Chain A
């Protein structure tokens, strides 16, 4: 890199060519005031507070937009500079309500900081001031434009981070104002309440509503932690005052999100303070819950679990870990199930989402996780998205994809729905639901026919190519076009583009996995990437974006029936022996039950007792009536939960859980990044979840005496080579560590399969197209597709007052054509019926769904969508086919 030498305030400095004078000064510890400059945004040079003197330049140039040149002589603090800065500040405060005494930003306000520095206490200018109304009509952001200095950072943050382009300047001169399109308020705009604008605002113009009046910035303790919602694993700071969380703020050094968060992460945390939180153990007596002491609860649990184990055998017990709880909690749950209850019947809700990923990628590559890190999106030249509504389900990854596309990366989106990114894509392949295998076989067919496959990669790194080749030979473009609905020439273009672009990555989520062919869909994606050698390098790969904060971790920790932590198989004698020795008990060698089997067995009366940590299968699992019946039949059920959920209602004992702000531990995000979760406030029920589990298990005669989650992790990692190098001390570093990390001097692994696949050679498989289990017919003419919406998450968000203000009921999506035929208007109520159940909902008319498709989320207790979804499951991973079932619709009187 070329270096440029210059002189700043009498000191020589050398900086890379292209650096700004402001940045050059920073390298020698000279802080030039700035209002509109932000290192993470483009520079516009608008506020002029950063002016400096430069020899040979007549004016005072703005240092943030002045590039260094060889031999430049800069002075940052001359009388002329000070005079100009002072004048600018005087001008600013002439039009600023100086109500600093009550201003929320006090303590972090840049205007105050610089006025203090330059001794500006009042303005010599009198006259007009702005008198805008305070904007209070949304639950999260308070806008006081009287305090806006028009630095434009919010405008740039909105455009350059989420890419929503909501804000802009309107009017001119003194009347200039930053507002949403058409001078509207946030709530009237398409704002997604990511809060990026609030995060960058240097003054009190934009503040977090939830934090108003809750504490001065200097009295607030900031505790860095990891988001409890989706699997992106954003980091942020819990703002704590007097032992209570009062808000969330973001920080530029957070990986992978910087200062961007989504509405859930930034504003949805308030569920932890909900007055519906459970605080004491509850024991059901005569059909009614009564408060109980911990001792009573533990005694009852210990007695009943032991009785049932003795009477019906170990396999009459099943446990669910939780994709929302820490790695340490999940480790304890599986250890408890295996070592104490003596069964491998432990699973968690990955079953309902990415179990096909874990299974499928393990078969193809040998390890079932995202091959590449999130940051690889930034440098990708092509992004192939299939079955992912990324900007809603993984907003921060979605935004990075959007920005990469805006910088020139090609974007291909495969989705039956017109999602935001489908709209923006270079190619949107609107396939018919459930034809993913056909599509990928078709693309592979073209790639082979045109000789665009990576023969060297296939030859050296993979096996079984012939079988695959033979299968896809049958998938001619014409046949595939007929099957998927994608035009033949689009198939050609996309196939060529993907095959010939060097840095091309595949990204998917549940649109791939939640099918009866889920595991095979996943392996198809793996085939495509292997065919073109798009693996084992930066910015390529097969990248499943995991749904929940710690679903990766819960799988990694062995809260699944076939493996211990680190994917060590329970039926591998060597592994079992190791764990028997470590845990000091004999262990069962047969693979345990997956969730759907557990509920089948419960319905059959063979599963008698369950412990469920932080999961709500009644709401989230398909065919909920079947789940309810199973729970009813159990002899003894313990639910360890934050709230009295639909599932907890069935419990005999409910243990109150601690929320993510009340626990130490770790979450592992979708890119295998292990990150710290930190206790910011005392656990509401008095015990962190790991403590509760330890005490419960100890009561059953198996002592668990850990002092803290760090010790739990240490034990876990000592038994799993891929984590051996990770410990709580190392996790203090920025961004945590990505497994595999086999030793303490190992830096972690950003991308997998660099030299060889985890299983050795990548396994090609010939996979045939199979239609979904239930397709629309004469009686049930509509296809129901389901998923997540931006504002909500599988659980807990229902208890966030703010999020519920934004969205508190289901609006099933109906296409304009169908709405016309059924005489429906947005807001009308309908009944959706399937062969399994029925549910009522409001509707919205939208072109996002094609004719013949209804789309619903599963978030709202009043509309329990999973009463109608299919009970057909993936044959390998037993994940439900949430994405396709047949329904009919009846209009209801409003």
Chain B
């Protein structure tokens, strides 16, 4: 029986999140001290060697990102923690921030030292005001204890748009502009917030850093799947017995996640499909359940790991309802900047509704496929590029025209 391995969730239920002393007693802020005793380049090299890749969805090597920001010229640099957590069914970042806010703050301070940034922002999902309160309390305590040195952190509350989780839209939003993605390149590590070199990293990514600094890159690199080492926090939802969050090594298979940790399908019904990574994720059939929940393994089967939401669907679900709901989500969340996404999400939703009502034809599916494929390659940002994924994978793996009507 596979076991959870708690790195970022190591303090859950063990310490009081609002007591900095608890965190310090659990070896907190020692890694930061250690990091500060290292030359910046060595610290970055250490993080790079750990193989840690972004947990926000894009899977970029975090040490590499730090290296870019470190070598970018700029009188001011920034660390931004992406806590927008907008994917439906995902709440891992919330759990981390609620149970161990200092781990995130410490991770940011480590990055700050590494690249020479003295200011950090936590962009917290608008629906999490209570999390922002916890973060603010933790920051106040850290300042009082003077553990952060000259590194300053500020919390900004998001405005409820999914696209603001995209790093450049998030930056625009912090700058007080309309939350729309920017052209890349330049990437944020070179030109980000106010045009200055900026590290944007996910909550979970950051929370890993103190442990990596503390225990060394070799320790981390040996955990889980080789190309995407470490653990992943997953949130289990849908028709699964245990709807809960877990943290497991990245070489765990989807099957293990559902059946070992999730306790299998609820009500003794049969498995139909699972969607991983939130609405932007692919819909995965039974035949692919042996896939590991690692970035490259998922990509290899045309799915994504994304945020780590695991949405299980039993045999009674009508997949047409499911894709219809997702198409609606994207239609609603498209920022409207680029044509393929703005117009495409809307037309996809239209067609999905038609299919959902049982009125769909093979021609409609062909049209969905055509437009979906264009969106996947031509949209401006990840939102539009990922929007057709559920529909495209559903068409690929299932018979979407069969079944009941869309409610």
Contact = CB atoms under 8 A, between A and B. Distances in A.
A171 interface: yes
A566 B362 CA distance: 80
A95 B340 CA distance: 13
Contacts of A168: 178
Contacts of A889: none
Given A48-B379, A59-B378, A91 B334 contact: no
B380 interface: yes
A121 interface: no
A618 interface: no
Given A150-B336, A174-B334, A126 B342 contact: no
Contact of A48 (B332, B334, B367, B380): B380
Interface string A149-193: 110100000000000000011011111100000000000000000
A92 B339 contact: yes
A46 B374 contact: no
A87 B370 contact: yes
Nearest to A35: B339
Interface residues of B, number: 33
A88 B378 contact: yes
Interface SS of B by simple majority? helix
A45 B378 CA distance: 11
Contact of A172 (B183, B335, B370, B376): B335
B22 interface: no
Contact of B374 (A62, A87, A169, A176): A87
A124 B336 contact: no
Given A51-B378, A127-B350, A173 B332 contact: yes
B166 interface: no
A44 B380 CA distance: 10
Contact of A128 (B340, B342, B350): B350
B346 interface: yes
Contact of A84 (B185, B350, B367, B374): B374
B343 A94 contact: yes
Contacts, number: 107
A45 B336 contact: no
Interface in B226-279: none
A149 B385 CA distance: 20
Interface string B338-353: 1110111111001000
Contacts of B350: 125-128
A476 interface: no
A464 interface: no
Contacts of A60: 377-378
B370 A46 contact: no
Nearest to A170: B178
Interface in A79-118: 80, 83-84, 87-88, 91-92, 94-95
B144 to A, nearest CB: 40
Given A46-B380, A91-B371, A174 B346 contact: yes
Contacts of B344: 87, 91
Contacts of B339: 35, 46-49, 88, 91-92, 149-150
Given A59-B378, A126-B350, A174-B331, A87 B340 contact: yes
A175 B374 CA distance: 21
A48 B376 CA distance: 12
B337 interface: yes
Interface in B309-365: 331-340, 342-347, 350
B193 interface: no
B161 interface: yes
A67 interface: yes
Contacts of B161: 172
Nearest to A86: B374
Interface in A27-49: 35, 43-49
Contacts of A128: 346, 350
B380 A94 contact: no
Interface SS of A by simple majority? loop
A172 B371 contact: no
A41 to B, nearest CB: 13
B268 to A, nearest CB: 41
A173 B342 contact: yes
Contacts of A697: none
A91 B347 contact: yes
Given A171-B336, A175-B336, A84 B346 contact: no
Contacts of B331: 173-174
Contact of A44 (B183, B340, B345, B367): B183
Contacts of A152: 337
A65 interface: yes
Contacts of B334: 172-174
Nearest to A91: B343
A88 B374 contact: yes
Nearest to B385: A59
Nearest to A173: B334
B185 A67 contact: yes
Nearest to A174: B346
Given A125-B347, A128-B350, A171-B336, A176 B377 contact: no
Given A128-B350, A169-B336, A59 B377 contact: yes
A707 B367 CA distance: 68
Most B-side CB within 10 Å, residue of A45, A126, A174 = A174
A173 B345 contact: yes
Contacts of A173: 331-336, 342, 345-346
A47 B185 contact: no
A783 B177 CA distance: 44
A47 B338 contact: yes
Most B-side CB within 10 Å, residue of A94, A172, A176 = A172
A46 B338 contact: yes
Contact of B340 (A91, A169, A175): A91
Contacts of B371: 87, 91
A80 B377 contact: yes
B380 A45 contact: yes
Nearest to A125: B347
Nearest to A123: B347
A48 B378 contact: yes
A775 B251 CA distance: 88
A84 to B, nearest CB: 5
Contacts of B338: 45-48
B171 to A, nearest CB: 15
22 contacts: A44-B183, A45-B338, A45-B380, A46-B338, A46-B339, A48-B340, A48-B378, A58-B377, A60-B377, A91-B340, A94-B347, A95-B343, A126-B350, A169-B180, A169-B337, A172-B336, A173-B331, A173-B332, A173-B342, A173-B345, A174-B331, A174-B334
Given A128-B346, A173-B342, 5 more contacts: A48-B379, A62-B380, A87-B371, A150-B336, A168-B178
The 3 A-B residue pairs whose C-beta atoms are closest, nearest first, are: A176-B336, A91-B343, A87-B374
